[in-house]
Each structure stands twice: as structure tokens, then as C-alpha cells.
Amino acid sequence: MTSSIQRARLLIPLVIVACVQPANAFWRRCGGDCGCAATCETSCQPCQRTVMVPQTSYETRTITVVEYRPEERTRTYTVHRQVPETRTVEYTVTVPRYEQRTREVSYTVQRPVYETATRTINVVQCRPEERTQTYTVCRQVPETRSVEYTVTVPRQETRTREVKYTIQKPVMETKQVEYTVMIPRQETLQATRKVCRMVAETRTRTVCEDQGHWEEQTSQTAQTSQNSGNCGGGCGCATTQPCTQTCRVWVPKPVTREVQYTVMRPQMEEVPYEYTVTRCHPETRTRDVQVCRMVPEEQTKEVQYTVCVPEQKTMSRQVTEYRTVSEEKTRSFTVQVPYTVQKEIPYQVCRMVSEQKTREVPYTVCVPEQKTMTRQVTECRDVAEERTCTYTVRVPYTTEKQIQVPVCRLVPQTVTE
């Protein structure tokens, strides 16, 4: 309606068709083109002209407008609800267990080893020599004497020493452990959904109608009848007679014509709406847990071991030595002239050799042992529920209204110049 009024206002400026003349030509003499009579006089007469003057009037017009009516509808939506569930969870802990074990310990002993060695000594030998002069003859006189010598003898000795070993000592500690729980929260979301609106639509289809009529038709058939009278034999004979039948028959007359019909066509449009959902947000929390930690601890203990200690001993043996006795003779004889010769002689040497030996030593060790324990844990399970809600939508419909519209028309009007 507003747009029609604005269009009407554009027509308000006057359209005046007038005859514009110069100021000195307002009064004209006769015989000009002002439309005066043919008779001329000394003075001029005024000239009349017709102009178009705008005139505004109001008319009633019918327009089509779209209005909305409220309509209640029902929809089904899904709501997620957190249902707590308690279940038993198994977890593993480490428990210390002491266990007796044995291990092999290496130790060193001194073992005597006898070896044959050689050494070089000076040996006096004699060679025969003939002389014819007075000479001194050396005669070997044996003498036996006792000689002392020192030997090394191994002796086993038991000693004690401290041995360091490490044990695992359990220490209980309180440790903070982080875990995550799901916290449900209500959130309002906006979305659009499609609404189906039925729109009337006129269509044309072709139908076939039977515009026939009823007719009566006659047909003849032969009919056989049994007579009970005497026909010469007196036993009854069969006779054939014509039979006329009248039937009413429908005579079809198919006629094809086009018929208009109205159908409701669905039209989809998007409508915004708000809905509430429950979402679970993770939240980190802390709790104290007892944890067993194995701490190494060093301890000492005394261990006995045997060592071989070399010991010096003095021993004696009988040694025969030859002493030279000189005698002078004055005859020819053969004498042995001594000379020194180096010889290698073998002898036994005792040498202590280190030897590694092993033995089993008992000790205690802390063995961590895994145990399975249970505890109750509560978790929230997401359960979906369907709910129904009623909402109101505004459904558009078309209606006709009458409004007053200003109309500008040009009306002829006579003016005098």
C-alpha cells in the first residue's frame, strides 16, 4: 500500500498546457491567430484557451497480501543423560618378597708348583800329566759334613674380610596421579531445519468417460417342450417351438476430455530453531596413590676365605766334599792336573701359582612380586532418550484486501488570456 501511495505522489506535479505569449502581445488586434471573430474593431478582444488541470481522486483497489497465522506443531528430539555405573576394576601392585639364594664367589689360592730348573756351576776336573821331577801329588780326601738350606713351604690360612652387597629396600611413597572424568553440561545450540509447506497447484489431466446408453435387443432361440397329450401313440412327444427374448444391453460411447484438479505440492523452507544438548567435557583431577619404590641399599658382611701363605723352613742334608792333600814324590808318575769346567745341573724349584676357585655363598634378595587387586570404579554411561515438545510456527497464507489509492487525472479547463 505504501508503494502505491508513493507512485501516486509522483503524479501530483501539475501538467499545465498553456499558451505563453510575450508581455507586449497580451492584447492583440483582430485578424491574428488568437481565435477572434472575423469582424474587426478598433480594440482587441480577450482570447480563450483550454488547458489540462490535474485533479486527484481516491479509488478502491483489491490487492493480494501475505499474512501469517500461528500453528502448533510437535517434534521429537533426543536428550543424552549420564547414568552412573559401578564396575570392578583389577589393577596390579608390586609387593616385595624376600628370597634366599646362593651365588658363586671367586677367591684366589696360592698353589705350589715344582719346576725343574738348571744352573751353571764350576766343576774341577783333572787330566793326567807325566812328570819326571819332584812334584806334589794332590790326593783327594773325602769329608762328610751337614749343610743347612732354606725351602718355601705353602701353609693354608683362614682369614676374614668384609664384603659389600646391595639389597633392594621397599619404600612406600604417596604419589599424586592425574585422572580424567567427564562432566556433563547443558548447552543451547542454534540450527536450521526444513519445514514442509503445502502449496496449492492446479493441474490438468485427461479422463475417459463412458457416455453410452441402454438399448433393448430381441433374439429368437429354439425351445423343446414335452407334450402330455395323445399324439397318435399316447406316450407323450417332444415339440420344438421358437422363443423370443428381449434383453437390455448397454451401448458404450467413450468420450475423452480434460479435467482440471488441484494438488497440494510440498515446498521445503529452512526455519531456525534452538535446542538443548548435554555434552560431556573432560576435567582433570588428582588423587593420592600409595606406590612402592625399591631403593638400593648397600650393606656389608664378613666372609671367611682361605689363602695360601708361603713359609720359609730350614732343612739340612749330608754333603761330601773332597779335600786335597799334597805329597811330594821324587819319581816319575802321572799326575792329574786340575782345571775348571762349567756345567749345567738340574734342580727342583717350588713356585707359588695363584689359582681362582669358586664356592657357593648364601645371600638374601628382595624380589618384587606382582599381585592383582580390585577396586570399585564409577563411570557415567551416555543414555539417549527421546522427548517430544510442542512449538509454534507462523504459517504464511494469501488473502485479499481493499485499499484506497490516490489517482491523478487531467481535467480540461478553459482559461482567458
pLDDT band at 225 (very low <50, low <70, confident <90, very high): low
Span of 31-35, 240-244, 324-328, 388-392 with lowest mean pLDDT? 31-35
Phi, psi angles (nearest 5°) of residue 281: -105, 135
pLDDT of residue 3: 46
pLDDT of residue 226: 54
Instruction: Answer yes or no: is pLDDT of 231 > 70.
Output: no
pLDDT of residue 12: 40
Instruction: Answer yes or no: is pLDDT of 102 > 60.
Output: yes
Higher per-residue pLDDT: 132 or 274: 274
pLDDT of residue 35: 42
pLDDT band at 232 (very low <50, low <70, confident <90, very high): very low
Written in H, E and C, the secondary structure of the chain is CHHHHHHHHCCCCCCCCCCCCCHHHCCCCCCCCCCCCCCCCCCCCCCEEEEEEEEEEEEEEEEEEEEEEEEEEEEEEEEEEEEEEEEEEEEEEEEEEEEEEEEEEEEEEEEEEEEEEEEEEEEEEEEEEEECCCEEEEEEEEEEEEEEEEEEEEEEEEEEEEEEEEEEEEEEEEEEEEEEEEEEEEEEEEEEEEEEEEEEEEEEEEEEEECCEEEEEEEEEEEEEECCCCCCCCCCCEEEEEEEEEEEEEECCEEEEEEEEEEEEEEEEEEEEEEEEEEEEEEEEEEEEEEEEEEEEEEEEEEEEEEEEEEEEEEEEEEEEEEEEEEEECCCEEEEEEEEEEEEEEEEEEEEEEEEEEEEEEEEEEEEEEEEEEEEEEEEEEEEEEEEEEEEEEEEEEEEEEEEEEEEEEEEEEEEC
Residue in 113, 138, 90, 55 with CA at minimum distance from that of residue 322? 138
pLDDT of residue 32: 41
Which of 27-34's residues contact partners 24+ apart within 8 Å by CB, and which partners?
A: 34/417
Instruction: Answer yes or no: is pLDDT of 235 > 60.
Output: no
> In this structure, are strands 333-416 and 48-131 parallel, antiparallel, or unpaired?
antiparallel
The share of the chain scoring above pLDDT 70, in percent, equals 83
Grid cell of 387 as nine digits: 522427548
pLDDT of residue 170: 87
d(C-alpha 53, C-alpha 182), whole Å? 84
What's the pLDDT tens digit per position in 138-161? Answer: 778 888 888 888 888 888 888 888
What's the pLDDT tens digit per position in 325-370? Answer: 887 877 777 778 888 888 888 888 888 888 888 888 888 888 888 8
pLDDT band at 4 (very low <50, low <70, confident <90, very high): very low
pLDDT of residue 416: 78
d(C-alpha 200, C-alpha 265), whole Å? 6
pLDDT of residue 405: 80
Span of 23-37, 62-76, 169-183, 232-246 with lowest mean pLDDT? 23-37
What's the pLDDT tens digit per position in 274-293? Answer: 888 888 888 898 988 888 88
> In this structure, are strands 254-329 and 135-210 parallel, antiparallel, or unpaired?
antiparallel
If one counts every other C-beta atom within 10 angstroms of the C-beta of residue 257, the result is: 9
Whether residue 243 contacts residue 222, with contact meaning beta carbons closer than 8 Å, is answered with: yes
pLDDT of residue 414: 84
pLDDT of residue 14: 37
Grid cell of 74 as nine digits: 510437535
Span of 112-121, 129-138, 375-384 with lowest mean pLDDT? 129-138
Whether residue 110 contacts residue 307, with contact meaning beta carbons closer than 8 Å, is answered with: yes
Q: CA triplet 188, 190, 194: central angle to 5 degrees?
A: 135
The share of the chain scoring above pLDDT 90, in percent, equals 0
Whether residue 300 contacts residue 138, with contact meaning beta carbons closer than 8 Å, is answered with: no
d(C-alpha 168, C-alpha 298), whole Å? 9
Q: What's the whole-model pTM score?
A: 0.22
